[in-house]
Structure 1
């Protein structure tokens, strides 16, 4: 290499190496300070795209867990109200038993019936007022087969859709929760209960057709006991269905949490920096940077040798 003044090639080479080492040192500093191996698209374009997809899945799964927990809270609200209704039904059966015996007269049965009707009214009040976040649970609004609880109407009705999956195209992504009515009339009790008909279409006696409406007579009280038993069975079916759904949702939450944990581990392997490896690279680039600075200083002093030949 010739000794020249206009172009100091050694200094240019040292400067280029310094820029490269300093840039790598800055990258290592950014990774170590942020904890991320992939901080920009330039770090790993494919890895960044995969990571962002994983992050969206993880966020969706976490929201699915919250949705499922909200559904469990809703089920527990309904079950708590049904537990109180159960107490009222037990008292109604006790009153029917009391009125069914012949040791009471008509006036006394009317007094018993007064409490019986009060219990029926309280059952209806509880069923009509039990709500979760503005959704009424026991008034029959969530019963039926076709669900409008999918955001298509302003006043939805039918089974409520609990969405916890990351998609919306299969039954694995959601459950439908249907809750039958638990009002007194829906259970066939009290003055508001409808007239009963035989399953085979045969004629029923007056007491049988109006079973459960009142206990004001001994005969009506006797038939009311069967109606109350059926009401208790209907109520228990609702609670059993809610309990099984709660168990399913709890299992779903466990599965979603495991799924989110494994996705988080995969995302971490793509995104997070290996501190030990990156620290080794940081030290290497630091040494190269210091060496390049030292060599650049030496290279910048080389043109002075030309001045000695000129006689300066």
Structure 2
């Protein structure tokens, strides 16, 4: 006659619960697989996509600010050249100077003109020329929207000062008007650079505010509640240990019966 033991509780019954609690503690995430919370996982995936998009938008905006800072610094150098050229033109227009002296002033004047072209031709960001007319604008991707950075041509041609000559009073007087106009153009353009930087900074602040909210929402859904997870892990361990003890007691009882029957 066979003796069948009935043991409805086994240690394997609680193994998944122990593993789930341990995984939650180890990963720091409440949802480690879709089965843990299918609806929650869908929301977490959507929020993660939003966060990644906003992180990249912030990086793009910061790159745009760096490009604007580059062109603004170059514009300041060009303005310095123009201011010196303005001084030389005023000096050359003075009737007390002779032709030799005006020729010497014109040499420095032409060197400054070349310096403007060198700055405009060499100003670049990520191998893109920014002030010589090659790149008229840069589109900055900000996630669901874009903003356009307008870039000027600040070469001597773009500033309409190419071919100026102050070797005589008439040329010096004519150059003064062109240089004044070029300085006004530089001043206006630098103001636009500053406004564009402020616009990108505001966009970054707005994106980061949205990002913080998205992070918080994802954290509430997906992050582990460590106090609850530890409590659940302890509970599952106790249940598992109890099941092992009960299984051992059941085996001992069956062994006692067999020993009694064999005696």
Query: What TM-score comes out, normalization by structure 1 length?
Result: 0.79
Q: 1:138 Cα shift?
A: 0.6
**Aligned mate of 2:49, from 53, 56, 80:** 56
Q: 1:140 Cα shift?
A: 1.4
Unaligned runs of 5+ in 1: 144-158, 168-172, 192-212
State the secondary structure of the residue aligned to 2:14.
helix
1:174 equivalent in structure 2: 146
1:295 equivalent in structure 2: 246
**Aligned mate of 2:159, from 187, 199, 211:** 187
Q: Deviations over 1:65-96 (max 9, x none)?
A: 11111111111111111111111000010011
Of 41-50 and 262-271, more deviation after overlay is shown by 41-50
Distance in 2, Cα, partners of 1:189 & 1:160: 26
Q: 1:124 Cα shift?
A: 0.9
Distance in 2, Cα, partners of 1:74 & 1:311: 93
Contact kept? 1:190, 1:214, Cα under 8 Å: no
Distance in 1, Cα, partners of 2:93 & 2:123: 32
Q: Deviations over 1:199-246 (max 9, x none)?
A: xxxxxxxxxxxxxx2222212211221111100011111111111111
| Residue 222 of structure 2 corresponds to residue 271 of structure 1 | yes
Distance in 2, Cα, partners of 1:40 & 1:6: 43
Unaligned runs of 5+ in 2: none
> Equivalent residues in 2 for 1:236-255 (5 A)?
236-255=187-206
> Equivalent residues in 2 for 1:147-158 (5 A)?
none
| Residue 182 of structure 2 corresponds to residue 231 of structure 1 | yes
> Equivalent residues in 2 for 1:154-165 (5 A)?
159-165=137-143
1:19 equivalent in structure 2: 12
Q: 1:110 Cα shift?
A: 2.3
Provide closer, same or farther for how the CA distance between residues 311 and 179 of structure 1 changes in structure 2, counting only shifts above 3 A: closer
Which structure is richer in relative contact order (CA contacts within 8 A, separation 6 or more)? 2
State the secondary structure of the residue aligned to 1:227.
helix
Query: What TM-score comes out, normalization by structure 2 length?
Result: 0.93
Which has a greater percent of helix? 2
> Equivalent residues in 2 for 1:206-225 (5 A)?
213-225=164-176
